[in-house]
Amino acid sequence: MEKIFEHSISSLFLEDFFVIQLIEFSDITDVVRYRQLSSSIKDAIEQENYALFLKLKNYLHIPYTYDSSELAAQENMISCIRGVVEALSEEPQSISPFAFYTDGGVDTNGSYYFLQNVWKKTGICYCTIANSNVHVQSVLSKSIDMPSADNNPMNFLEDKKNKNKIRIPYENYIVDPKADPFHILTDFQIHLRSGGYNAYVQTFAVFYSEREVDNKKFQSLTKRFTKAIKPTDIPLLRLGVFHKEDEKDSGIQIYEFDISNESSIERCFKTRSYDVYPLLWITIKPKYVNKTINYRIKQRVAAKYVSFKLIKSSNANSNSNIDLYNLGLKTIPLRLGSCEAE
């Protein structure tokens, strides 16, 4: 049967069109495997460098904003694809992203409740001043080293008249600029706590991107999420749901959006030009237990940044803040744009 398949493909490969179609509609692992059938098939596939680039980009749902000229110009895209296939066989690693932006301010004792708590399992939350629709951005970097002495939110105000908008210039603390590849997001974790806070985030959404997002644009793009405070509000977002889970024991519901459906994303954001992709919508009814919820992301997602919209606090008091649970992330590091010849 394989000989018949090889003969059929070899005859079709007289036309570039069929090679491109084969690459487009085959699984990425099969594209690598086809090269082993014969030298003529191997050469035909490797000559379609741009088709291979598009295959990789779509396979990993890499945001269209990615400046892909360097990657697309690689003469050995098949090596990049092989690297991805090999990387996906590796065990995901826990990483500690660096939260660098918020428009929600920091509650009293700012240095203690600051952004550094977002991605640490310390039991100390990031506590906002604002009580709804707070936007937080994080970079997926392992090479940022900010001295603890600099950990003062008042040092990083974007606007001296607005203490809610804080941006840490993380680029000034990068130890090795070349050390940070894309990351394939595999697991999102929420570390629930049994007590100590009374205004835990009740509803929030998770987004990803390949670059820092202008906060005004972030706010504008995610307007629909402002009213999405319970599962029955999901249709308001006009987004397709790829998967959903209901952790009844922990009071958590997680919806993973279909990020391959670009038309639904455009309907949600009301534009064809967007910098962030919606990934998860999460609602929590705190049961105050010490427990880690691990959600395995069902789609393949390659990103450099992860952002949040903290939609609603569990405390209905209008003067309340939002306490963001400690979060965790597992990824597979992936270096694109540096494909070496085989």
323 and 198 both lie in a single domain: yes
Q: How confident is the model at residue 341 (pLDDT cuts 50, 70, 90)?
A: very low
Q: How confident is the model at residue 154 (pLDDT cuts 50, 70, 90)?
A: confident
Query: Which domain, by its residues, includes 13?
Result: 2-87
* CATH code of the domain containing 162: 2.60.120.260
Q: Is the pLDDT of residue 69 over 60?
A: no
With 0-12 CB in 10 A as exposed, 13-18 as middle and 19+ as buried, what is 172? exposed
197 and 268 both lie in a single domain: yes
Q: How confident is the model at residue 87 (pLDDT cuts 50, 70, 90)?
A: confident
pTM for the full predicted model: 0.87
21 and 143 both lie in a single domain: no
Amino acid, res. 103: D
132 and 59 both lie in a single domain: no
Lowest mean pLDDT among 61-70, 180-189, 205-214, 305-314: 61-70
19 and 158 both lie in a single domain: no
258 and 129 both lie in a single domain: yes
Listed residues 61, 87, 113: the one ending a domain: 87
Q: Is the pLDDT of residue 244 over 90?
A: yes
Reduced to 3 states (helix: H, G, I; strand: E, B; else coil), residue 216 is helix
184 and 71 both lie in a single domain: no
Q: How confident is the model at residue 101 (pLDDT cuts 50, 70, 90)?
A: very high
Report the C-alpha gap between 269 and 190 in whole angstroms. 27
Report the C-alpha gap between 160 and 39 in whole angstroms. 65
Tokens of 51: 């088709």
Tokens 């965790």, located at residue = 328
238: left (phi over 0), alpha (psi -120 to 50) or beta: left
Q: What percent of the chain has pLDDT over 70?
A: 88
156 and 120 both lie in a single domain: yes
For residues 278 and 273, which has the higher predicted lDDT (pLDDT)? Answer: 278
